[in-house]
Amino acid sequence: MTISLKEDERLDDLQRNGLSIIQKQSGFCFGMDAVLLSGFAAVRQGENVLDLGTGTGIIPLLLSAKTEGRAFTGLEIQQEIAEMAARSIILNHLQNRITIVHGDIKEASRIFGTASFDVITVNPPYMNEMHGLKNPSEAKAIARHEILCTLEDVVRESSRVLKPGGKLYMVHRPHRLIEILGKMTEYKLEPKRLKMVHPFQDKAANMVLIEAVKGGGAWMKVEAPLIVYKEPGVYMDEIYDIYGY
Is the residue at 99 inside a domain? yes
Is the residue at 179 inside a domain? yes
Contacts of 160 (CB under 8 A, 6+ apart): 108, 109, 114
The yes-or-no verdict on residue 90 having pLDDT over 70 is yes
pLDDT at 151: 95
pLDDT at 4: 79
In the Cβ-directed half-sphere of 220, how many Cα atoms lie within 13 Å? Answer: 17
Q: Which of 8, 10, 66, 6 is nearest to 36 (CA)?
A: 66
How many structural domains are present in the chain?
1
pLDDT at 127: 62
In the Cβ-directed half-sphere of 241, how many Cα atoms lie within 13 Å? Answer: 8
Contacts of 176 (CB under 8 A, 6+ apart): 126, 151
pLDDT at 125: 85
pLDDT at 243: 83
What is the mean predicted confidence (pLDDT) over 39-66?
Answer: 97
Is the residue at 18 inside a domain? no
First to last CA, the chain: 28
Beta bridge partners of 98: 72
pLDDT at 2: 66
Name the DSSP class of 197.
E
Compute the distance between CA of residue 145 and CA of residue 127 in angstroms, rounded to an integer: 5
pLDDT at 48: 98
For 208, list phi and psi in degrees, rounded to 5: -140, 135
Is the residue at 57 inside a domain? yes
Q: Residue 118 belongs to what domain range? A: 40-243
210-234 per-position pLDDT tens digit: 999 999 999 999 999 999 999 999 9
pLDDT at 135: 45
Is the residue at 10 inside a domain? no
Is the residue at 24 inside a domain? no
97-142 per-position pLDDT tens digit: 999 999 999 999 999 999 999 999 999 986 665 544 444 545 544 4
The residue that leads in pLDDT, 83 or 243, is 83
Is residue 102 within 8 A of residue 163, CB to CB? The reply is no
Average pLDDT for the chain: 91
pLDDT at 145: 41
What is the mean predicted confidence (pLDDT) over 25-54?
Answer: 94
Is the residue at 28 inside a domain? no
Contacts of 86 (CB under 8 A, 6+ apart): 57, 100
Q: Which CATH number does the domain housing residue 235 bear?
A: 3.40.50.150
147-202 per-position pLDDT tens digit: 678 999 999 999 999 999 999 999 999 999 999 999 999 999 999 999 999 999 99
